[in-house]
């Protein structure tokens, strides 16, 4: 393998920061770039080097993991002023694209990167910051087999749960949107069930205990509702993210001529939560929204 053990991260928030810290612990040389100086400082304390621009980072690190929020941010950090594509690509230069994007956006970014001399691995991830930190998150990888083999050591260092979903750029994005639409449906259903339990006089924590050992259990429902019941809405995954992801999933479904009524109902819950002021909080805030609506 040609991977040199040197990797840069553009975006070291909840997920990108957790991945960067994991690789530092595993002995990788890590560079970081983020708009938030506090995030960069956290990386530097762990032994990473902060760079002033994406282009400066890409000039040194042959592989760059992009872990920003959306297509607009990807465009800015990759192709904007001082963006990654302004750097002269080093041998084997590759971008690992981790945000949840629409398939068309992923395809366009991969094609544009190729024009600048950068390979692209479509590799969205799922599982949250704790799983990113311990290497147990899911990574959905779409790229040519030779490219995957060239960077297998990095991908497998990031996670023990790597799923090869295809070779065409965009299949990672498609897989992630399918997953996140179901996550939105499950979380919306879990919040509704706990809100109903409270309305009929049941203890929500005890109700969640029994759900976790019964047919209604879902990982995201248990994870988020446990925090929501405790009043912990500190953002691990902002409500805005599942609002965005469920919208993108519905757009993908519409383009394929597929009707998704459950997904549409869940997406409306997340849209309403953002409109009610919960967007910057954890997506466990769906329970707070329903409590507010039922007050």
Tens-digit pLDDT string for the chain (295 aa): 334 489 999 999 999 999 999 999 999 999 999 999 999 999 999 999 999 999 999 999 999 999 999 999 999 999 999 999 999 988 889 999 999 999 999 999 999 999 999 999 999 999 999 999 999 999 999 999 999 999 999 999 999 999 999 999 999 999 999 999 999 999 999 999 999 999 999 999 999 999 999 999 999 999 999 999 999 999 999 999 999 999 999 999 999 999 999 999 999 999 999 999 999 999 999 999 999 987 5
Domain of 29 in residue numbering reads as 6-168
Q: Looking at the structure, do residues 160 and 180 belong to the same domain, yes or no?
A: no
Residue 85 covered by a domain: yes
In a shared domain, residues 159 and 183: no
Query: In degrees rounded to 5, what are phi and psi of residue 116?
Result: -100, 0
Q: How many CB atoms lie within 10 A of CB 46?
A: 15
Q: Which of 111, 144, 168 is the last residue of a domain?
A: 168
3-state class of 97 per DSSP? strand
Q: What is the CATH number of the domain that holds 86?
A: 3.40.50.720
200 and 114 in one domain? no
Q: Do 116 and 190 sit in the same domain of this protein?
A: no
CB crowding 277-293: b at 16 or more within 10 Å, else e:
ebbebbbbbbbbbbeee
The answer on 229 and 113 residing in a single domain is no
User: Which pLDDT score, from 0 to 100, does residue 295 have?
Assistant: 57
Same domain, 133 and 41: yes
For the chain, the domain total comes to 2
Nearest residue to 159 via CA among 141, 179, 139, 176: 139
Q: Which of 168, 199, 214 is the endpoint of a domain?
A: 168
Parallel/antiparallel/unpaired status of strands 119-122 and 161-166:
unpaired
Global pTM exceeds 0.85: yes
**Structure confidence at residue 293 (pLDDT):** 85
Domain of residue 200, CATH code: 1.10.1040.10
Residues 159 and 182 in one domain: no
In a domain, 182, yes or no: yes
**Would you say 287 and 194 are in contact if contact means Cβ atoms under 8 Å apart?**
yes
Instruction: Classify residue 24: in a domain, yes or no.
Output: yes
Residue 1 domain flag: no
Looking at the DSSP bridge assignments, the partners of residue 122 are: 97, 142
Is 232 within a domain? yes
Q: How far is 15 from 130, CA to CA, in rounded Å?
A: 9
Task: Tell me, yes or no, whether 13 and 143 share the same domain.
Answer: yes
Q: Which of 136, 168, 200 is the last residue of a domain?
A: 168
Say if 183 falls within a structural domain.
yes
Token pair, residue 50, equals 């902060």
Active site residue 176: yes
Active-site residue identified among 174, 176, 247, 269: 176
For every residue of 243-279, which 3-state class applies, written as one string?
HHHHHHHHHHHHHCCCCCHHHHHHHHHHHHHHHHHHC
pLDDT at 91: 81
Verify that 34 and 147 share a domain, yes or no.
yes
Return the pLDDT at 217: 97
Same domain? For 163 and 185 the reply is no
Residue 228 domain-assigned?
Answer: yes
| 266 neighbors 289 (Cβ within 8 angstroms) | no
- For residue 236 the two structure tokens come to 């691990």
Is residue 13 located within the same domain as residue 142?
Answer: yes
Can you read off the two tokens belonging to residue 66?
A: 């992009």
The answer to whether residues 70 and 178 belong to one domain is no
């Amino acid at each position: 393998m040609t991977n040199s053990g040197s990797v840069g991260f553009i975006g070291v928030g909840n997920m990108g920061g957790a991945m960067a810290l994991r690789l530092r612990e595993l002995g990788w040389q890590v560079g970081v770039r983020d708009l938030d100086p506090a995030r960069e400082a956290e990386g530097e304390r762990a032994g990473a080097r902060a760079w002033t621009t994406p282009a400066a980072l890409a000039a040194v690190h042959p592989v760059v993991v992009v872990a920003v929020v959306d297509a607009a941010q990807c465009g800015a950090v990759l192709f904007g002023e001082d963006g990654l594509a302004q750097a002269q690509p080093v041998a084997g230069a590759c971008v690992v694209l981790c945000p949840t994007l629409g398939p068309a956006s992923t395809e366009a970014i991969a094609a544009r990167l190729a024009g600048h001399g950068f390979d692209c691995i479509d590799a969205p991830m799922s599982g949250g910051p704790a799983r990113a930190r311990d290497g147990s998150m899911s990574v959905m990888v779409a790229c040519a087999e030779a490219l995957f083999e060239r960077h297998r050591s990095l991908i497998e260092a990031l996670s023990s749960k790597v799923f090869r979903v295809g070779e065409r750029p965009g299949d990672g994005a498609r897989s992630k949107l399918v997953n996140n639409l179901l996550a939105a449906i499950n979380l919306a259903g879990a919040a509704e069930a706990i809100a109903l339990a409270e309305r009929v006089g049941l203890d929500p924590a005890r109700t969640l205990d029994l759900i976790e050992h019964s047919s209604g259990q879902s990982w995201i429902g248990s994870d988020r509702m446990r925090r929501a019941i405790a009043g912990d809405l500190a953002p691990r995954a902002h409500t805005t993210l599942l609002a965005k992801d469920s919208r993108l999933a519905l757009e993908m479904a519409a383009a394929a001529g597929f009707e998704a009524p459950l997904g549409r109902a869940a997406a409306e819950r997340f849209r309403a939560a953002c409109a009610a002021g919960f967007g910057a909080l954890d997506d466990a805030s769906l329970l707070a929204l329903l409590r507010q609506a039922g007050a």
